[in-house]
Structure 1
């Protein structure tokens, strides 16, 4: 059993490495490609219009697909194959989302300029395919946590291993994004080609991730999960709403996701138009990303000495401090480095805490409603992430237009007013959202470790086979 667990830890780490390479490439750099080299023609009005249209489509599609994710979670829960419920969707979702991702980093046959209407149609279709297939891949991959761990301690270990792999993936992406774009540009002669080269590297990482999960991880399924009845699609949303701890956690989690997505997406703009050196993004943010890998290693130690709520509260406060430093840093290298480290260090702790709290609501939902919904419950996380990412991507498109950061804009073309407005939005809005997250989590989420342990014990007694002579 120990050999199986160690193998699971190793391959699950590798599967999350490639997953987060894709996630951050999709979340942070697709919009950068769209607002940059995709529309950099001689007509600035046309460029701004197209950036606005595509940004609106991204928001519209991602918001529209919010209702789809819970159904995808129910679909995964209802999938019964000899390979399990999760692996078929990890493999197919990973393959499809990576291919469509690469296609989005092309001009689609130069239709972006020659036939913008056709480009908008094709972009919308491809984005729908990518977003939907990524949701299947993402939900199924994270749903493996309760399938390969059963106790509180094991879930902390798996959560830490998963977040370590994700942190390494984020670190690798941050390090290779700009060098790969520059290399591709040198090899193929244009910045557009450079971004396409970058997307091809992301595809390789994504397929590697899916293969590791499907062929390297062995599920250890608790008995109670095997007898869970199928979830009817008409019961999907009522199942989520009736789980009050899941609902309140979702509100708090979304505020955090929005803050993270907005700041992370705008960070390349900050380096290019505020700090004044786009190439320094990888040079500064890359090494700073080591803080992600280091901090996640301390998570099990922290949760043994402090409650999960205490750990999460402090991590969110550190994130707040990082945004305050970033607001005043501007071109000060030392302050930018400090802000980058403070911003990145708490992320794996916040993410892992929210993820494990979300996983615990699976047991709470079964205890309260008599139904165990693994993927349906965990589909709430990508739903929130997608909603936050949609609003942040839409905001980025509008902010780039508002602050003159589109097309051929340079540092010298950005006024002091533009800089102030940009920093107020980039830092001020996320700070407000994080404060809301803290208040909601501390006031409304009552699923403590002791309460969860009591629930798990009661579920074990409830699901235990009846002894001879007892009523079944």
Structure 2
């Protein structure tokens, strides 16, 4: 426990309404980030027969492009000077385009050649993730700016995590919704489900722009504009920032490379090829995962306030470590619902990870200002998102070839070979464990605790107070 516990000043607190609006954007952000990946394989591979390796390549390349343009979007946002602020125009445009393009993605008929499906998928997904970069980088910067307080930052990010969890429940049931008897197949179902999800992206995505006040606009207008390359070089010199980037890359690769394998194990190992039955339990386990993480958020914020972010995250990461290993034992045809156990363990720990990493990133922006004299929340969040998307892109790219390597054949239906299912089960259980173990070691070495964060803020406030005198 820190020697001195700090209480959040009233001026540093963010109103419930603004937290709510920011959290609504987190719902949209989660849909944008995960819905395409969630439904790509069931629709384009399992239903339309597109090769899984080619499909995941067509999915990974836009994510890689998305990662490449993030720093440009972040710098453009930091240097923007509009009557609506630095972030809001990007958020509105990005959310609107994402909603429209997501609905368009599934609007293909049966009867096309597989190359046509692949080309349509690649072009629309490339445009979609370009729009997503325009939305998510400035949106993340808005959250960083909402409070300068070490603890209030965690509470703000907790709202985002909470609403992201609700969105996660929605995506967990997308396959189930597309399988209803009113639809002929998953493609027909996604014609309509895609429209609803796209509209939700637009409505909730613009909420932060409409109702969250951008903090520090006066200072931002006066500070010098920083070109992209110098800004990137200065940012990467901060040790605490490099450690955060390493954690996010490791976790993205470890989790997302095998995340889609759960579908295949459920459908072809647990349920013998019955997609409709598997979709129901997929929805149940996804709901359990998200609800358990959401319920853990009050405990996470209280523990962080009492023990600090670093110690809280270090302890919490042991939960997903145990949970992912438990998958080896819990995916079984004899007891299908036993697979609700791993998400009960994993979700609280991962909710802690995503919440506290976002809050730690806000603390890094203070260290950056102390060292370099500028506020660049957009650039730092862009690099953070770049690292996340780079890891996710690599994971998604490898995941399709992992499926092919395992020996899975869509034409075999429920008669997949035992060897292919064994490979999938081993990867889904043990590969994430390696990434989580590495992240635990890195968190232990993170240099910013509560005392260091408040000392940095005190020095920044002293400098700002002295700046007008120096100018006289």
Q: Same fold (TM over 0.5)?
A: yes
Distance (whole Å) between structure 2 residues aligned to residue 26 and residue 310 of structure 1: 35
Change (3 A) 1:29 1:188: closer
Q: Which of 335, 346, 351 is matched with 2:349 structurally?
A: 346
1:282 deviates by 0.9
Aligned length: 454
1:447 deviation in Å? Answer: 1.8
Match of 1:44 in 2: none
C-alpha RMSD of matched pairs (Å): 2.4
| Offset, 1:281 | 1.0
Conserved? CA contact 1:27–1:389, under 8 Å: no
Per-residue deviation, residues 237-281 of structure 1 (Å, max 9, x unmatched)? 313322232122101121112223234332222321233241311
Q: Distance in 2 between matches of 1:300 and 1:364?
A: 22
What whole-Å deviation, never above 9, does each CA across 1:157-202 have from its counterpart, x for those lacking one?
211112111112212332x31332123xx43433211123222221
Counterpart in the other structure of 1:424: 426
2:179 to 182, 189, 206: 182
Task: Pick from 245, 249, 253 the counterpart of residue 250 of structure 1.
Answer: 245
Partners of 1:379 and 1:108 lie apart in 2 by: 37
Is 2:150 aligned against 1:147? no
Contact 1:19 1:209 in 2 (8 A): no
Q: 1:237 to 1:426 in 2, by over 3 A?
A: same
Q: Structure 1: where are the runs of 5+ without partners?
A: 40-46
Corresponding position of 1:357: 360
2:401 maps to which residue?
Answer: 398
Tell me which of 191, 197, 204 is aligned to 1:202.
197
Aligned residue in 1 for 2:6? none
Q: Name the CA distance, whole Å, in 1 between partners of 2:423 and 2:359.
A: 37
Compared CA separation, residues 456 and 31, structure 1 to 2 (3 A): farther
1:52 Cα deviation from its structure 2 partner: 1.9
Which range moves more in the overlay, 344-353 or 221-230? 221-230
Alignment equivalent of 2:378, drawn from 375, 379, 400 = 375
> Which runs of 5 or more structure 2 residues have no equivalent in the other structure?
1-9, 272-276
Query: Do structure 1's residue 218 and structure 2's residue 213 form an aligned pair?
Result: yes
The alignment partner of 1:189 has SS state of coil
Return the alpha-carbon distance in structure 2 between the equivalents of residues 399 and 20 of structure 1.
25
Partner of 1:21: 31
2:81 corresponds to 1:80: yes
Deviation at 1:300, TM superposition (A): 1.6
Is 1:93–1:136's contact at 8 Å kept on the other side of the alignment?
yes
- Please point out which of 43, 48, 52 is paired with 1:38: 48
Determine if contact 2:95/2:206 at 8 Å carries over to the other structure: no
Q: What does 1:70-469 align with in structure 2 at a 5 Å threshold?
A: 70-107=71-108, 111-113=112-114, 116=115, 119-174=117-172, 176-183=173-180, 186-221=181-216, 224-276=219-271, 277-278=277-278, 279-331=280-332, 332-333=335-336, 335-411=338-414, 413-443=415-445, 445-466=446-467
Note if contact 1:367-1:459 (Cα within 8 Å) is conserved in structure 2. Answer: yes
Matches of 1:284 and 1:335 in 2, distance apart? Answer: 10
User: Residue 227 and residue 344 in structure 1: after superposition, are their counterparts in 2 closer, same or farther (change >3 A)?
Assistant: same
| C-alpha distance in structure 1 between counterparts of 2:41 and 2:308, whole Å | 38
Structure 2 matches for 1:54-65, cutoff 5 A? 54-65=55-66
CA contact (8 A) 1:257 1:385 kept: yes
Task: Give 3-state SS (helix, strand or coil) of 1:371's partner.
Answer: coil
CA distance in 2, matches of 1:454, 1:258: 35
Partner Cα distance (2:211, 2:408) in 1: 45
| Residue 288 (structure 1) shift | 3.9
Task: Give 3-state SS (helix, strand or coil) of 2:410's partner.
Answer: coil
2 CA distance for matches of 1:259 and 1:284?
Answer: 20
Q: Is the 8 A contact 2:150 2:363 kept in 1?
A: no
Give the Å deviation of 1:319. 0.5
Mapped to 1, the partners of 2:467 and 2:29 lie a distance apart of 42
Instruction: Give the direction of change, closer, same or farther, for the CA distance of 1:193–1:249 in structure 2 (3 Å limit).
Output: same
Farther off after superposition, 187-196 or 246-255 = 187-196
The CA deviation at 1:320 is 0.9
Distance 1:157 1:237, change over 3 A: same
* Post-superposition offset of 1:73: 0.7
- The alpha carbon displacement at 1:119 in A equals 4.8
CA drift at 1:137:
0.6
Question: Which one is further off, 4-13 or 348-357?
Answer: 4-13
Query: Contact conserved, 1:22 with 1:202, CA < 8 A, in 2?
Result: no
Q: TM-score, normalised by structure 2?
A: 0.89
Deviation at 1:303, TM superposition (A): 0.9
Does structure 2 conserve the Cα–Cα contact (< 8 Å) formed by 1:27 and 1:261?
no
Question: Does structure 1 retain, via aligned residues, the 8 Å contact 2:258–2:427?
Answer: no
Contact 2:326–2:429, Cα closer than 8 Å, also in 1 = no
Structure-2 residue corresponding to 1:42: none
Distance 1:4 1:268 in 2: 40
What residue is the counterpart of 2:7 in the other structure?
none
Contact 1:93 1:134 (8 Å CA) reproduced = yes
